[in-house]
Structure 1
Amino acid sequence: GVGVVRPGSVGALLAACALAGALGSGLDPIVDTIQPVNGPTKGGTIITIGGTNFGSADSNIQPRVTVGGVACPSVVWVSQSSVLCETPDGVGADRTVVVEVGSRQSAPSAQSKFRYDSPKVLGIEPAHGPAKGGTMVTVAGVNFGETNSNPSVTVGGRPCQSVVWLSDKKLTCVTPSGTGVGDVRVFVLDESSPENFGTVFEFDAPVIASLKPDHGSCAGKFTITVKGKNFGSSD
């Protein structure tokens, strides 16, 4: 048989053909490579996405790219097999990069993953405080995430209270009770700062203010009341 195209449908047919060409013959985009595969939580990393079916030069359809479901603020089409993207703010080690062209989008794969860098603690101020806790400290570092990333902090393995995110490089918290010296670590989603990295908080040493009685028999077996501070959680 011979196909018949009605005159009124010619324009629609041409538009459909043009759209199919722009979308890579109607095929879903495929992401094969991402370079680099990691970057800071504050975003701004320019990544090159390699693959197929990213559209054509004569298309007015601009590819859209998301990282972990968040749109890249800037996307540049290079070719049908290459797109540049500026990463948004984000956290996490397993963020899927998706390329969308028109109504079609790439499927998640092992090759389409981007990792936001782990937090790192570089300093704490003040670096010491009473054993009963309650010291407001400022923790400085990098990759503490974004506004709603809800970081947590531990001192010597115990959770800091009242954590307040200030920026991707600074947060505050209130120390727990403790004794000795404890590592300060920041946790953001599924990533954490290194253990034993060298940034520590030192709980003040015990101080004895008085002993009652201050003397007794060599035979022992009597009670001594010791008063002071920094004796632990109840002080």
Structure 2
Amino acid sequence: MPISPNQGSTGGGTTVVITGTNLGGATAVRFGTKTATITANTPTSVTVTSPSGTGTVPVTVTTPGGTSNPLQFFYVGAPFKSSLSPVTGVTAGGNTVTITGTGLSTATAVNFGATAATPTVVNDGQLTVTVPAGAAAGPVGVSVTTAGGTNNGLSYTYVDAPTIVSLNPTSGPATGGTVVTITGTNLATTQSVDFEGTLAPFSVLSDTSLSVVTPPGAAGAVDVTVTTSGGTATSTDAFTYLAGPGI
């Protein structure tokens, strides 16, 4: 007489189906000493809503013909989430987030706002999940659903990809050291700026402006790339290194 599922929340409320023979007319289904609510009954199955409980309890079905042999049901506590990393990512989704906590081994879903994703359970204290696409930039709540229930309390922020609108000035000596203002959009989470692959020191002035000091480079036009937690933007041949004079 199988029982499915054989585990559920300590708070009760899990729909459980017990299958077997001669189950018609069931008068009681007990989880340990507590009686479950019968919601459907046929000669070969009984569907119930589990009562609250803890630990492992025997489940029995009582009919006019007697009481069945017991099956085990495992109560699982609600999950606890302690951290999420990273806490930001592109609005398009696709990056991997690690969630740590306790009671995560039975996780079946991780919701980012209203959108669910299927996690990969590493162990009871850790799971990973691929972030789904977000509806818009901004924070969303993150919840984990396990056999023990759902736990909320963490936040993840979707960030739109950056854009580069202009550089000022657009040229400077090949020795570097030129202070350049980059204007664009979604620049607040800038992680790096490079001139043709060479990293440049920078400071974030606002979500639409960066101050950058050019590194040394070879004479000629170079691409400028800004990388943020929302993605990467490249402006082709945006800055020109000028060769020094020779006599």
- Determine if the TM-score, normalized by the shorter chain, exceeds 0.5: no
RCO higher in structure (CA 8 A, sep ≥6): 1
Q: What is the TM-score with the length of structure 1 in the denominator?
A: 0.41
Name the structure with the higher strand share. Answer: 2
Name the structure with the higher helix share. Answer: 1
